[in-house]
Amino acid sequence: METTKFILIGGGGHARVVSSIIEAQEISQLEAVFDLNPKIETLDGVSVYQKYSSDLFPNASAIIAIGDNRIRKQLAQTINHVFGVLIHSSASLDRLSSVGGGSVVMQRAVIQRGTRVGKHGIINTASSIDHDCVLGDFVHIAPNATLCGGVVIGDETFVGAGAVVLPQIKIGKRVTVGAGAVVTKNIPDGATVVGNPGKIITSYGAN
């Protein structure tokens, strides 16, 4: 079987976890990493290049390995490689669910039936997404967060570690859900939600 080659955009701590997912797949190989920080010369033994070029490793698939949603969105517009998808072997993805290009599903994450994950998403370690959820592009679901069935999440939203979103809740674009929050009501664009039950502490709109 032919080896799938990857490049990573970003060489920080999040990139190291993404790199470990590539290593865990016998038919995948990390070719190179691109990061503007001159102090980062290698990522776990893989060479780091400061300047990205589409001429380098043209047959590799790219993953933007940066946790910040807005930065991922900005960089995605500058990358000319095809974006791949990475799903760790310990994760569970139902056959009737889908994950968009550029997205990463990490160790022990669960995505149940009928769920759609958009482009450039991060489904982080041991997070749980139940049936029929819809996640927009550039969404980050942090470790151990739980989305119950039928949840809808807008583009660039971050759901913090250990947060819980109750069934059928709709969360807007560019929302921040704090770690450990329990979201019991729909949340408008641009809001920050904390606590149990979740309360909106700031709201600036999606722009």
Amino acid identity, position 180:
G
Q: Measure the CA–CA gap between 93 and 106, rounded to whole angstroms.
A: 11
- Our answer to whether residue 88 is catalytic in this structure is no
**Cα distance between residue 38 and residue 176, in whole Å:** 31
Contact 15, 75 (CB under 8 A): no
Among the listed residues 14, 81, 120, 131, the single catalytic one is 131
State the Cα–Cα distance between residues 1 and 3, nearest whole angstrom.
7
CB 198 within 8 A of CB 183: yes
CB-CB contact of 84 with 61 (8 Å)? yes
Q: How far is CA 151 from CA 33, 64, 136, in A?
A: 34, 25, 11
Q: Which amino acids are annotated catalytic?
A: 131
